[in-house]
Structure 1
């Protein structure tokens, strides 16, 4: 009797171990380092309430120059066939400069003692701001859908959410060859594509239990993209960790209003335009 009991107990332990191992293999996190060319059309500096774009001339005669690229971390959390992308990109740093005489200008005191002086005595203020909206991306790996949820803060208490579901469609120029290399210890196969007239090189592995790419249109039929190279953007996986992930945290906001991609883009543009207008008004004061 006791002998049979021990056999059953041992069997249960083996079964539990198998289930735990299976869970670990189907959930975890992939971390990427991302380098992206900055869209200069979205960059500007505010001087005396006026916007100056890259390459423009500032009041002191200098040219407004900015870095060509930015680098940040991005990760994919996945479990039970769902994934959620997270970015480590910090809020933007906005510098404002005031030139001219009077308070804050040459020969004048800095109002309320705020800010440092620029090279010509103009008052300079620098602050870190966050995006005027939340942009969360989820991946339904079973259905191969990308779910984008946009959260726009209307006031201190109200945030409106909009959702768009789009099928993940691999770019038609995708081609594979026989080149291979190892990334993070996983054997990867090479593919190429010409996305928006820009050549891309993609390295993906089929040795991980999911199908995913940080660039949706560069998703293989099966496998995980661990590196993408191009002149516009680059992604490189820096770590893969199999671990337990809260599946509930990978679900989109249930209150989000379902909209088309165009409607989602329109809401994003409106939020950004309103944000820029507010920043302009604040900097004039």
Structure 2
């Protein structure tokens, strides 16, 4: 049986709002790639499934999946050159799919000079697709406490800091041996340094590899023609795209 899997819209929007931010330090220009592995705990209560007729299933229904994993794995790659960076991956967000298609796709870029994230949202598929662009400034949490604990991660010496985030205390391991300020979660970006490990009770990001290499700056900047919208409008467009996508595939499942 084919099922359509999605996360409650509010959860998806929260997940999409926590993409990484990078800040370029004034002392040097660094070019290369950082690869992170992520582990994200799944809350089954936040999941919804559609049956073949496009109807929402409930826990306990005969066709309710019995093999839902406890965690999802993800890989995030960050390509940095000078004043721009491109972030790929972030596939820990569960999104509805049907026939190999999704309600939208997104690209994420970081303007290191002005410290803002640029999101390119494409709604729909093929010739009906529409593309939008929104920019948001770096927003970081407060309450950082730097400790004396150190450890090596991906070949770099890191120092542990703790910070309140999502109603708990996160451990954030930071190195100052790279001339960039970066975190795979934007709210957990320190004032200075590169975050190579984030530890929370429901999620973790760890740098698997840091490689210094020359990259073409042109591929790290947004190149598509897109309609500029406010961040709030981008959120509304995501929600509408998911609603329309589910409704369309519900009609297909019902033979409409």
TM-score, scaled relative to structure 2: 0.79
Q: Distance in 2 between matches of 1:207 and 1:86?
A: 23
Q: Does 1:71 align with 2:49?
A: no
Residue 186 of structure 1 and its aligned partner are, at CA, apart by: 0.5
Structure 1 residue corresponding to 2:103, chosen from 132, 141, 163? 132
Task: Give the CA deviation at 1:42.
Answer: 4.1
How far off is 1:225 after superposition? 0.8
For the structure 1 residues 280 and 73, does the alpha-carbon distance in structure 2 shift closer, same or farther, using more than 3 Å as the test?
A: same
Contact 1:190 1:203 in 2 (8 A): yes
For the aligned residue pairs, the C-alpha RMSD in angstroms reads 2.7
Structure 1 match to 2:61: 58
Q: Tell me which residue corresponds to 2:6.
A: none
Assess, with a 3 A threshold, how the Cα gap between structure 1 residues 225 and 130 changes in structure 2: closer, same or farther.
Answer: farther
| Count of residues in Structure 1 that have an aligned counterpart in Structure 2 | 227
**Could you tell me which residue of structure 2 aligns to residue 241 of structure 1?**
211
CA contact (8 A) 2:146 2:160 kept: yes
CA contact (8 A) 1:132 1:271 kept: yes
Conserved? CA contact 2:95–2:102, under 8 Å = no
Match of 2:196 in 1: 226
Q: How does 1:169-208 map to 2 (within 5 A)?
A: 169-208=139-178
> Structure 1 pair 134/63, CA: closer, same or farther in 2 (3 Å)?
closer
Q: What secondary structure is seen at the aligned counterpart in 2 of 1:281?
A: helix
Counterpart-to-counterpart distance in 1, 2:92 and 2:40: 14
Which of the two has greater helix per residue? 1
SS at match of 2:126: coil
The change in CA–CA distance for 1:229 and 1:29 in structure 2 (over 3 A counts) is same
Question: Which 4+ runs in 1 deviate beyond 6 A?
Answer: 90-95
Q: CA deviation at 1:36?
A: 1.2
1:278–1:90 CA distance, 2 compared to 1 (3 A): farther
Q: Larger deviation: 30-39 or 43-52?
A: 43-52
Alpha-carbon distance, 1:91 to partner: 10
1:124 aligned residue: none
2:35 matched to which residue of 1? Answer: 31
Give TM-score, length-normalised by structure 1: 0.72
| Alpha carbons 1:91, 1:128 under 8 Å: kept | no
Do the aligned partners of 2:34 and 2:211 also contact (CA within 8 Å) in 1? yes
Bigger relative contact order, structure 1 or 2 (CA pairs below 8 A, ≥6 apart): 2
1:167 aligns with 2:137: yes
What aligned pairs does 1:141-160 form with structure 2 within 5 A after superposition? 141-153=112-124, 156-160=126-130
Paired residues of 2:48 and 2:56 also in contact (CA < 8 A): no
**Structure 2 unmatched ranges of 5 or more:** 1-28
Q: Report the Cα offset of residue 136 of structure 1.
A: 1.3
- Kept in 1: contact 2:53–2:250 (CA 8 A): no
Quote how far apart the aligned CAs of 1:128 are: 6.3
